[in-house]
A = this chain, B = another copy of it.
């Protein structure tokens, strides 16, 4: 049988080839192609994302408030990657008709609470009935005007492009909480009840890094940015590739104290825990001379950030420092539409993988 487009499935191709062979040829002339946000000109940026089945549901969370919160976060996080200020959200809910009114209210409350937390709100939407619950949203934002700062013009809008070799990779946000919650709930780290609740609480309410992104953009410190929607490895790979660069990562990621404890007790290294997805951190490339200043500026405003690596001039080479010199980074390498797509039915397999990798690279 001859392979034609009718007989090749999306699973046969996988996300990257779908992107390279179907999407890119058609849309490459769109100015913002490949960025987290579409550029509508005049400072207007737009992004749309659906909410995946939250990992939290799979570890016992029944309150759809947190699905709503997540839906708003993943869309606002894309605006953060553009350094934009949110103008509002529109939502699109498909719900089975057997959904309870209480569940619908909780979704709405979660979306609204997250939007309010970031100083924005839902301005429109659509609800319809369907066989499967599907929550999607669109966020609209406005980027900063160009700004003369520290001796040069900042571009206002952030994108994946603009980074150079030797730039520092700074991870903004609080990584590790979602999978920290998974480790704790699956009994891999015996922590006190209050710590457990604290971790769960943070995992339930991931925060889009809008404040930090705008701070870095306004000061002309961020040269390129991408949000960590599929894990740090994918974010670094895409950011590096967009600039024809490679990267060397640090063997450890600075985590909050409660998570250090989880790492120690579970035998998972800080790199393995911190590189996960689900915490909606922002990865930013900052000139190596400005890195320390950027970190101080963020911390002064209580915005958590740490340096996680350095961009290099070796295209596509992703390494991690180790005691024996740089080695290949075996990061979390999901690919939608393939068996490597995270569908959430492999929590224990992923935990085992994190533990194995922690033996191979990095230290707790």
Contact = CB atoms under 8 A, between A and B. Distances in A.
Interface in A190-222: none
Interface string A19-53: 00011001100101001011111001011111010
Nearest to A90: B48
Contacts of A122: 27, 30
Contacts of A91: 48
Contact of A97 (B11, B35, B94, B104): B11
Contact of A22 (B97, B105, B341): B105
Interface residues on A, range: 35 or more
Contacts of A136: 48, 92, 136
A264 interface: no
Contact of A46 (B23, B39, B140): B140
Given A48-B138, A101-B22, A102-B5, A40 B88 contact: yes
A140 B91 CA distance: 14
A10 B48 contact: no
A48 B124 contact: yes
B124 A90 contact: no
Interface in A118-147: 121-132, 134, 136-138, 140
Given A122-B27, A123-B39, A98 B46 contact: no
